[in-house]
């Protein structure tokens, strides 16, 4: 199977924040075998685009999502202020969730009153809210939670939006580890955000920069692709955003072909990648 | 459906008083009492949590599960998606598990992250119970979650990824939302009174509502309801306070009208988000009256149901569909005197009328907005 047929969309920019792969240029060099995989995960930068009050309240996952998203938008040459967005995460802000559960489990009722910031940071769409405040984007935004299949679910959501009238869209998939005791029940590797800026068409005059690739999507029974390198395969399995590594790998290498990503237990996403 | 229809017709509220003993405050909630004793069949025992119990209960009302299973046989299980809205999923189990940490701080072995805690558990469970094999996801955008699933499913149907979808929402009472809204001073100590001059906050509810969405096939039955349009937007203003002029809400409603190729005068009734907080109702009033004028009948049914958070959008879409099927405007039954500063035509009691097209609003934390437009298949 080398051709999925059907409608295509254009990948215009990639952002990578956190883990050993931090930033798309770094990740690309590692995936192409031109640079070694760093031994340590990169620190998470604070997002400079947030207003001071929000910057104080924004948690690690918000900064991961923002940094990855902004990198993808900048490299695509798109305007974040007018862009529709899809966010995906399985656990959202795990440190915040932990703190709420500890507070509510306290025998002292005085501890049960959560701070307002703690509560509003608990919504799965907190990153989307901070993103909109930072960029001024009033366009449509959604936040999906699909366990380990978030990368494929978000891509499918974006694909459907692009085929039904949304001109450009940003997909940001992010995850950070829980503290114990939740970490033992849901182990996540390094904090990671992966963002893709996508457009519905690449018509003449529309794009200032050449897109990275043309993508076609289809559902498949095929098993998901694995990474050839053992350490990269370990990363792929360590978090929902990392499940998108086979796509990044294909883009980095610039080869035309079909890759398959994890999605649900009995369903995977096939993507035909045609680099431009 | 019949119980809901009757309660709406009678103008009854399901909110009951709850003294949160330990913390010494009073609130009103819309609980589903059957959940405490409900046991899932052995096959699904591993999924047991209050949220999945409610999903199971709701799926088996009104022959919905049978209907969905029959439809899946017709379309092929792979061609039917599952898109569910929830905000807290099984977090109540996690809260409880944290009280049973062992000496090393570990959670009890019975704690199940994937089947109960995580947001996706809601869609995963519904897909499993109904035997569906198509794409699935949970939308978790606070209180717009189960409105947005309609828009997302309609897009997947429109571009041919699926032929139909089970959409809906399920959310249950838990400590996180009870104490969270309390900390924001957004919980009313009386039954919530949307759009009332004396409104003092929201009342929490729990609910599950599911809808089978499929491509309209031309020959609609007279009681079919059409999803005419949907609009989504972001406030880009504040994490927990709506834009004071309701700009984001207005954008969502405008976009819903545009997608349905309808104009303001085509709307017969607005089911408001209407939570009963000072700022939410004021912002929504500006958005609605600014776009639709002051004449169109409006009400918030949260005085009857409580605010079911991630399930509110789906519950209110069902209530909006009932309004069309019964040709009756639902009432805002706990509201006694409309705030003179709010100018929409707020109905406090149910009343008969011509209801062909309904706008249903859902807004949430993070500045998320979704407006859905539905209409009678046969005018």
Can you list the alpha helix ranges (DSSP code H) found in chain B?
2-10, 50-59, 64-75, 91-98, 121-130, 145-158, 175-183, 247-259, 278-292, 302-305, 312-326
Active-site residue, B143 included? yes
| Nearest to A160, CA basis, from B209, B220, B137 | B137
- Domains for chain A: give ranges and CATH numbers: 8-209 (3.40.47.10)
HEC per residue, B96-111? HHHCCCCCCCCCCCCC
Query: What is the overall mean pLDDT for chain A?
Result: 94
Option in A120, A138, A164 nearest B239 (CB)? A120
Q: State the pLDDT at residue B126.
A: 98
User: Is the pLDDT reported for residue A11 higher than 50?
Assistant: yes
Q: Tell if the CB–CB gap between A124 and B175 is shorter than 8 Å.
A: no
User: Is the pLDDT reported for residue B310 higher than 90?
Assistant: yes
Kindly report, residue by residue over B85-143, the tens digit of the pLDDT: 999 999 999 999 999 999 999 999 999 999 999 999 999 999 999 999 999 999 999 99
**Which of A49, A81, A104, A166 is the best substitution to test chain B (most B C-beta atoms within 10 A)?**
A104
Distance CA A259, CA A275 (A): 13
B357-364, strands of its sheet edge to edge: B225-234, B368-376, B357-364, B269-271, B297-299, B345-346
Q: Tell if the CB–CB gap between B234 and A263 is shorter than 8 Å.
A: no
Q: Tell if the CB–CB gap between A138 and B234 is shorter than 8 Å.
A: yes
| Nearest to B250, CA basis, from B137, B367, B353 | B367
Q: Tell if the CB–CB gap between B179 and A145 is shorter than 8 Å.
A: no
Place of tokens 């972001």: B234
Kindly report, residue by residue over B334-374, the tens digit of the pLDDT: 999 999 999 999 999 999 999 999 999 999 999 999 999 99
Other beta carbons less than 10 A from residue A105's beta carbon = 18
How far CA B50 is from CA of A189, B19, B86, in Å, comes to: 30, 21, 13
pLDDT (mean) for A129-157: 98
Distance CA A81, CA B58 (A): 40
How far CA B114 is from CA of A187, B47, B99, B122, B147, in Å, comes to: 12, 9, 19, 10, 24
* C-beta of residue A69 within 8 angstroms of C-beta of residue A49: no
How many angstroms separate the first and last alpha carbons of chain B?
Answer: 22
Distance CA B122, CA B88 (A): 10
Option in A90, A105, A142 nearest B98 (CB)? A105
Query: Which letter, b or e, does each residue of B147-174 get, where b requires 16 or more Cβ atoms within 10 Å of its Cβ?
Result: bbbbbbbbbbbebebbbbbbbbbbbbbb
Can you list the alpha helix ranges (DSSP code H) found in B131-222?
145-158, 175-183
User: Is the pLDDT reported for residue A2 higher than 60?
Assistant: no
Residue A36 is classified by DSSP as P
pLDDT (mean) for A234-261: 97
Q: Tell if the CB–CB gap between B138 and A146 is shorter than 8 Å.
A: yes
- For residue B134, which residues of chain A lie inside 8 Å, CB to CB? 267
Q: State the pLDDT at residue A210.
A: 84
Active-site residue, B307 included? yes
Option in B118, B119, B183 nearest A114 (CB)? B183
Residues in chain B: 379
Residue A220 is classified by DSSP as E
* C-beta of residue B207 within 8 angstroms of C-beta of residue B311: yes
In Å, how far is B378's CA from the nearest CA of chain A? 26
| A 105-144: CB under 8 A from B | 105, 109, 112-116, 118-126, 128-130, 132-133, 135-144
Burial of A57 (0-12, 13-18, 19+ CB in 10 A): middle
A202 reaches B (C-beta below 8 A):
no
Q: Tell if the CB–CB gap between A104 and B78 is shorter than 8 Å.
A: no
Q: Tell if the CB–CB gap between A137 and B134 is shorter than 8 Å.
A: no
Q: State the pLDDT at residue A203.
A: 64
Residues in chain A: 276
Place of tokens 């999923």: B89
| Nearest to A158, CA basis, from A147, A142, A169 | A169
Distance CA A256, CA A273 (A): 6
Q: A100: nearest CA in chain B?
A: B176
- pLDDT category at B82 given cuts 50, 70, 90 is very high
Return the CATH number at B292: 3.40.47.10
**Helix, strand, or coil (residue A264):** strand
Q: State the pLDDT at residue A204.
A: 58
Kindly report, residue by residue over B12-44, the tens digit of the pLDDT: 999 999 999 788 899 999 999 999 999 999 999
What is the ipTM metric for this complex?
0.98
Place of tokens 């500045």: B367
Instruction: Write the CB contacts of B228 (distance below 8 Å, at least 6 apart in sequence).
Output: B260, B262, B357, B373, B374, B375
In Å, how far is A30's CA from the nearest CA of chain B? 32
User: Is the pLDDT reported for residue B218 higher than 70?
Assistant: no
Q: Which residue segment(s) compose the domain that B96 sits in?
A: 2-217+224-376
Total number of domains in chain B: 1
The pair of three-digit structure tokens given for residue B310, joined into one six-digit string: 């991630």
- For residue A120, which residues of chain B lie inside 8 Å, CB to CB? 184, 239-240, 365-366
The phi, psi pair for B122, rounded to 5°, reads -60, -45
Q: State the pLDDT at residue A207.
A: 65
Query: What is the overall mean pLDDT for chain B?
Result: 96
Lowest mean pLDDT among A50-59, A62-71, B203-212, B285-294: A50-59
Sign of the C-alpha dihedral computed for residues A14, A20, A26 and A29 taken in this order: negative
Q: State the pLDDT at residue B324.
A: 97
**Which of A90, A131, A142 is the best substitution to test chain B (most B C-beta atoms within 10 A)?**
A142
User: Is the pLDDT reported for residue B295 higher than 50?
Assistant: yes
Lowest mean pLDDT among A205-209, A254-258, B175-179: A205-209
How far CA B200 is from CA of A113, A116, B330, B335, in Å, comes to: 19, 17, 22, 11
Marked catalytic residue, from B117, B174, B307, B344:
B307
Instruction: Write the CB contacts of B39 (distance below 8 Å, at least 6 apart in sequence).
Output: B48
Strand-pairing partners, residue B202, are B187
HEC per residue, B128-157? HHHCCCCCEEEECCHHHHHHHHHHHHHHHH
Other beta carbons less than 10 A from residue B70's beta carbon = 11
pLDDT (mean) for A97-103: 98
Torsion of CA A137, A138, A144, A148, to 10 degrees: -10
Pairing of strands B16-20, B25-30: antiparallel
Kindly report, residue by residue over B246-283, the tens digit of the pLDDT: 999 999 999 999 999 999 999 999 999 999 999 999 99
**Helix, strand, or coil (residue B12):** coil
Lowest mean pLDDT among A3-17, B56-70, B345-359: A3-17
Q: State the pLDDT at residue A52.
A: 86
pLDDT (mean) for A188-203: 93
- pLDDT category at B242 given cuts 50, 70, 90 is very high
Option in A97, A118, A129 nearest B365 (CB)? A129
pLDDT (mean) for A118-138: 97
């Amino acid at each position: 199977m080398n051709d999925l047929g059907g409608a295509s969309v254009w990948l215009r920019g990639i952002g990578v924040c956190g883990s050993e792969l931090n930033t798309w240029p770094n990740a690309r060099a590692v995936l192409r075998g031109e640079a070694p995989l760093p031994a340590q995960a990169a620190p998470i930068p604070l997002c400079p685009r947030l207003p001071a009050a929000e910057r104080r309240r924004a948690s690690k996952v918000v900064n991961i999502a923002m940094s990855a998203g902004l990198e993808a938008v900048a490299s695509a040459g798109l305007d974040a202020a007018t862009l529709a967005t899809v966010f995906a995460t399985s656990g959202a802000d795990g440190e915040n969730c932990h703190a709420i559960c500890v507070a509510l489990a306290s025998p002292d009722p005085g501890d049960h009153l959560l701070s307002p910031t703690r509560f509003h940071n608990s919504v799965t769409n907190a990153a989307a809210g901070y993103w909109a405040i930072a960029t001024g984007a009033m366009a449509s935004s959604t936040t999906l939670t699909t366990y380990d299949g978030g990368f494929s679910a978000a891509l499918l959501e974006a694909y459907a939006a692009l085929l039904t009238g949304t001109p450009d869209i940003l997909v940001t998939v992010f995850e950070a580890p829980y503290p114990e005791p939740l970490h033992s029940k849901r182990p996540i590797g390094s904090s990671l955000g992966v963002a893709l800026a996508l457009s519905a068409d690449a018509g003449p005059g529309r794009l200032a920069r050449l897109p990275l690739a043309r993508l076609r999507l289809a559902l498949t029974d095929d098993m998901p692709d694995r990474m050839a390198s053992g350490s990269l395969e370990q990363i792929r399995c360590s978090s929902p955003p990392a499940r998108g590594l086979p796509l990044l790998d294909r883009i980095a290498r610039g080869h035309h072909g079909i890759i398959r990503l994890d999605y649900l237990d009995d369903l995977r996403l096939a993507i035909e990648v045609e680099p431009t | 459906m019949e119980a809901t229809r009757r309660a709406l017709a009678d103008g009854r509220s399901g909110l009951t008083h709850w003294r949160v003993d330990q913390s010494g405050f009073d609130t009103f909630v819309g609980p589903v009492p059957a959940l405490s004793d409900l046991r899932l069949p052995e096959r699904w025992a591993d999924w047991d949590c209050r949220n999945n119990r409610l999903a199971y209960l709701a799926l088996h009302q009104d022959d919905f599960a049978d209907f969905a299973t029959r439809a899946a046989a017709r379309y092929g299980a792979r061609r039917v998606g599952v898109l569910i809205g929830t905000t807290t999923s099984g977090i109540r189990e996690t809260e409880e598990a944290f009280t049973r940490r062992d000496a090393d701080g570990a959670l009890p072995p019975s704690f199940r992250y994937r089947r109960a805690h995580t947001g996706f558990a809601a869609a995963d469970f519904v897909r499993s119970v109904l035997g569906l094999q198509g794409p699935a996801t949970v939308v978790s955008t606070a209180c717009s979650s189960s409105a947005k699933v309609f828009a997302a499913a309609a897009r997947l149907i429109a571009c041919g990824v699926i032929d139909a979808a089970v959409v809906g929402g399920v959310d249950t009472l838990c400590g996180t939302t009870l104490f969270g809204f309390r900390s924001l001073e957004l919980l009313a100590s009386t039954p919530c009174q949307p759009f009332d001059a004396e409104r003092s906050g929201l009342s929490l509810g729990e609910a599950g509502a599911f809808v089978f969405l499929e491509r309209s096939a031309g020959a609609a039955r007279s009681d079919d309801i059409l999803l005419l349009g949907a609009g989504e937007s972001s406030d880009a203003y504040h994490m927990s306070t709506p834009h004071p002029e309701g700009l984001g809400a207005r954008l969502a409603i405008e976009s819903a009208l545009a997608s349905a190729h309808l104009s303001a005068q085509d709307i017969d009734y607005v089911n408001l988000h209407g939570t009963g907080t000072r700022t939410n109702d004021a912002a929504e009033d500006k958005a609605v009256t600014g776009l639709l004028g002051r004449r169109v009948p409006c009400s918030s049914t949260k005085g009857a149901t409580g605010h079911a958070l991630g399930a509110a959008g789906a519950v209110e879409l069902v209530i909006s569909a009932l309004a069309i099927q019964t040709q009756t405007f639902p009432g805002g039954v706990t509201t006694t005197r409309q705030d003179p500063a709010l100018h929409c035509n707020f109905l406090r009691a149910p009343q008969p009328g011509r209801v062909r097209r309904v706008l249903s609003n859902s807004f949430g934390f993070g500045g998320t907005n979704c407006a859905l437009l539905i209409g009678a298949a046969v005018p």
